[in-house]
Chains A and B, each alone.
Chain A
Amino acid sequence: MQDPRIRLGATILLSAAAWISLPGAILTLLWWVMYAGARTSVHTIRSLIIILLVPAVMALAAFWSGADGISYFVRITTVLIIASWMYAERYPGELLDVGVWAFGTKTGFDLGLIGELSMASLDTLAREIERISVALSQKGMRLTPRIIPAVFSGILIRQLNLAHERAILLTLRGYTRGGMHCPSFSPSRSDWISGAFSCTIFLFSLIAGDFFKIAGATFIV
């Protein structure tokens, strides 16, 4: 999907659809396979297991307490899949583009800038964790709970230093608030079609999830 506006909109709608109802989650998964080519930023089984560990534990807890743990697991997993698809599709500067397009060159620019800096930090974080794992394995160690405080203190300090350096750079370049940026978008036909389907799935999920059920009556919209 080329247009970040449609991608962001589709991500919000599909995440909501997946969260609201199980049929919405299943349709979202189908959408992901058909329109997103099942693209994801999770490339290893190890990463997948780490990501799904918390939802799986929560689902088991829900199951044991009598709730529908399977539905919870499928819905949360679908939300995570859509998030990983969005992360895989993004390109540098797109949040700034969307921010300025949606909210203008003051608030929009600031929001976009915050988003871009956060995304860049996520990239740095992922790279750092990979490097640390290699460094520790060469040292004959693994990332165990015992060494997590030291390892994550280092990561936190490096991230704070990086943020400090970036703040200095922005100040030196005269940044106070807002900025000039002229975003341009080139949505393709398939962007519009997949965007429209994400709206449909969201509406279907609202109905299927009894979102409009008020006092025992279901309102079909």
Chain B
Amino acid sequence: MNIPPLIRLSGVVKTKGAFTLHAEGTFGPGVHLLTGRIGSGKTTLGEILAGIIQPDTGTISWTGGRRVMLLQDASYHISTMTVREEAASWHADPDVIIRRAGLTGKEDADLFTLSRGEVRRLELAAILSGEYELIVLDEPFAGLDEDARCFVRRLIETRRDAVVVIISHDITSLPKIDQLVAMEAGTLIQIGQVPQCLQNWNEAPALIRYLRKNGVCPAGLSREDLEEALCRIRG
């Protein structure tokens, strides 16, 4: 039986020039939104979680497996020239990856002729098909059109058995989020479980503040939940 993954950060401190990051908390299975202002340390925490950079002090303990994948720029993962070769390079069934990425019929296409959204879909489909305990997605929706965002949302929804951390300061394109964490001036704040925590979210973005001001609390942070909450205001 597989043990559900659990990552514990204890007294983690990382200094980069004038910036210092402090992190203390737990990440369990499900989709976590790591949000915060630009420059608050989201990407640094993502890199610490993924083991790319080491904290100066503190410990990160893992329960149940330690296979990690960090997605920053999807094109960094490209190691072949065609869609089929690239899907096969992930050591999984290439047909399944291509189908999940919605690229059926483009198997022999040159990767460098694909749009940014198509490359992101391919790499995300490969990552989310892989057996990783931790998947960190740094701004997975940046630079994508609405159709591609919707596609990526659906792909992410398929992996609730792993610890999925979405790093984003944009809350308008998210899948269903289980836990909300934020970086506030370099310090990790575990805000809580969604949707219960949304009422107490101190540094909530303008959209959430607007909904709360109008007496509406969304049932979640997914695109659909936010649209439904906005409809409730309008009646």
Contact = CB atoms under 8 A, between A and B. Distances in A.
Interface in A20-65: none
Interface string B88-105: 011100000000000000
Interface string A126-151: 00100110111011110000010111
B112 A131 contact: no
Contacts of A150: 78-81, 111
Contacts of B77: 135-136, 139
A140 B91 contact: yes
B81 A131 contact: no
Interface stretch (A77-85, A152-160, A183-191): A152-160
Contact of A134 (B52, B79, B90): B52
A141 B91 CA distance: 10
B21 interface: no
B81 A138 contact: no
A140 B68 CA distance: 11
B75 interface: yes
A61 B110 CA distance: 40
Interface in B70-91: 70, 72-73, 75-81, 89-91
Contact of B70 (A138, A140, A147): A138
Q: Taking each of A132, A135, A151, which has the highest tally of chain B beta carbons within 10 Å of its own beta carbon?
A: A135
A64 B91 CA distance: 45
Give the interface SS of chain B, mostly helix, strand, loop or mixed: loop
Given A131-B72, A138-B68, A138-B70, A151 B78 contact: yes
A129 to B, nearest CB: 10
A154 B123 CA distance: 14
B112 A134 contact: no
**Residue among A150, A151, A157 with most chain B CB within 10 A:** A150
Nearest to B85: A150
Contacts of B76: 128, 131-132, 134-135, 154
Given A150-B111, A157-B112, A138 B69 contact: yes
Contacts of A151: 78-79
Interface string B181-202: 0000000000000000000000
A131 B73 CA distance: 9
Nearest to A140: B91
A158 B119 CA distance: 14
A203 B75 CA distance: 50
Given A134-B52, A154-B112, A157-B112, A141 B69 contact: no
Nearest to A158: B75
A139 B73 contact: no
Nearest to A134: B52
Nearest to B50: A138
A151 B79 CA distance: 6
Given A140-B91, A154-B75, A154-B112, A149 B81 contact: yes
Nearest to B71: A135
Nearest to A130: B52
Contacts of A141: 79, 89
A141 B86 CA distance: 12
A157 B111 CA distance: 12
Interface of A: 128, 131-132, 134-136, 138-141, 147, 149-151, 153-154, 157-158
22 contacts: A131-B72, A131-B73, A132-B76, A135-B70, A135-B72, A136-B77, A136-B79, A138-B50, A138-B69, A139-B77, A139-B89, A139-B90, A140-B91, A141-B79, A147-B79, A147-B80, A150-B78, A151-B79, A153-B81, A153-B112, A154-B76, A158-B75
Ordered nearest first, which 4 A-B pairs have the shortest CB separation?
A135-B76, A147-B79, A135-B77, A132-B76
Given A147-B79, A147-B80, A153-B112, 20 more contacts: A128-B76, A131-B72, A131-B73, A131-B76, A134-B52, A134-B76, A135-B70, A135-B77, A136-B79, A138-B68, A138-B70, A141-B89, A150-B78, A150-B81, A151-B78, A151-B79, A153-B81, A154-B75, A154-B76, A154-B78
